[in-house]
Amino acid sequence: MPTFISWNIDSINAAVEHKSARGEMTWATLQHLAELAPDVLAIQETKLRPTGLTKKQATALDELFPDYHRYLNFSTARTGYSGTMMLSKTEPIAVTMPEIGAPGEMDQEGRIITLEFENAFVSTVYTPNSGRELARLEDRQAWDNAYTQYVQQLSTEKPVIFSGDFNVAHQEIDLKNPKTNRRSAGFTDEERADFTDLLAAGFVDTFRTLEPETTGVYTWWSQIAKQSKINNAGWRIDYYLISEQLRENLESFEVIDTGARQDHAPIQLTLSDFNL
């Protein structure tokens, strides 16, 4: 019964240094994830430099996850930006950091890692944000289309388990205030339609499959709005998606509590009767 955890950490360095109150909460969350010991841990928005982990960062991760294989994809377009990391108990058959033909510098921003195992691909993604005043929406839509084609191609070989910060709340029940966010990045009709197309390509939103009508479950709360977590004024923009043929293996999904910490919360998926 493998377990998977995915989290937008918003800077590995901030977690390891934990010099602020928020940094301390981020570090405590990372420690908790180590205690949960998932089979695969996916991290987005590492914000590492192209030179990789510092000695202090590597040592901290080695101590927290001593028996894991570690893979990193860095942004070479903008230093200290974006980036992804995956930790796996089992060494994969192959590891890829694909370029999907996305516009601009998106393919150089370290946004995807895919691990191939005997019975599945396990992948993570940090989807580009459409930006202020939706300046990047057209490029974001091109990304969405290219990414859907990418995971669809993977699924022709074996099932896919993929997670990450998809930067979209799919349905109105996936955010607290849908009416006032109709043209906000992450809740445009275009982004929501693209996510619908992704699911239609043969994938399952694990949380909505288990909880089709549940409201008030979110994975992100704005840091700018000081009361967002207290008021649960959040968005569900982090997902575990699985290939349709794994639907019967779907055991559980949960959002891991991070207490007072705002920004993203980790998500956990468990599959039954399945081996990587």
pLDDT digits (tens, 9 = 90+) for 42-93: 999 999 999 999 999 999 999 999 999 999 999 999 999 999 999 999 999 9
CB 221 within 8 A of CB 258: no
Q: Which of 39, 170, 218, 264 is catalytic?
A: 264
User: Candidates 2.40.37.10, 2.160.10.10, 3.30.420.40, 3.60.10.10; correct CATH number of 3-271?
Assistant: 3.60.10.10
**Residues flagged as binding site for Mg(2+):** 8, 45, 165, 167, 263-264
Q: Looking at residue 132, what is its pLDDT?
A: 86
**Does 165 participate in catalysis according to the annotation?**
yes
Q: Could you tell me how many residues make up the chain?
A: 276
Average pLDDT over residues 229-237: 96
- Of 87, 85, 88, nearest to 44 by C-alpha is 85
Judge whether residue 172 has pLDDT over 90. yes
Q: Looking at residue 226, what is its pLDDT?
A: 86
Q: Which of 10, 144, 165, 238 is catalytic?
A: 165
Average pLDDT over residues 250-262: 96
**Does 264 participate in catalysis according to the annotation?**
yes
**Residues flagged as binding site:** 8, 45, 165, 167, 263-264
Judge whether residue 23 has pLDDT over 90. no
Q: Which of 126, 150, 218, 240 is catalytic?
A: 126
Q: In what order do the strands lie in the sheet with 220-221?
A: 234-235, 220-221, 263-264
List the chain domain ranges: 3-271
CB 193 within 8 A of CB 141: no
| Residue pointed to by tokens 């288990």 | 210
CA–CA separation, 218 vs 186, rounded Å?
14
Average pLDDT over residues 164-189: 96
Structure tokens at 184: 């906000």
The rounded mean pLDDT for the chain is 96
Average pLDDT over residues 157-178: 98
Q: Looking at residue 225, what is its pLDDT?
A: 85
Cα maximum dimension of the chain? 47
- Output the CA–CA distances (angstroms, integers) from residue 229 to 140, 218, 258, in the order listed: 27, 10, 10
Please give the model's pTM, rounded to 2 decimal places. Answer: 0.97
Average pLDDT over residues 130-145: 94
Judge whether residue 185 has pLDDT over 90. yes
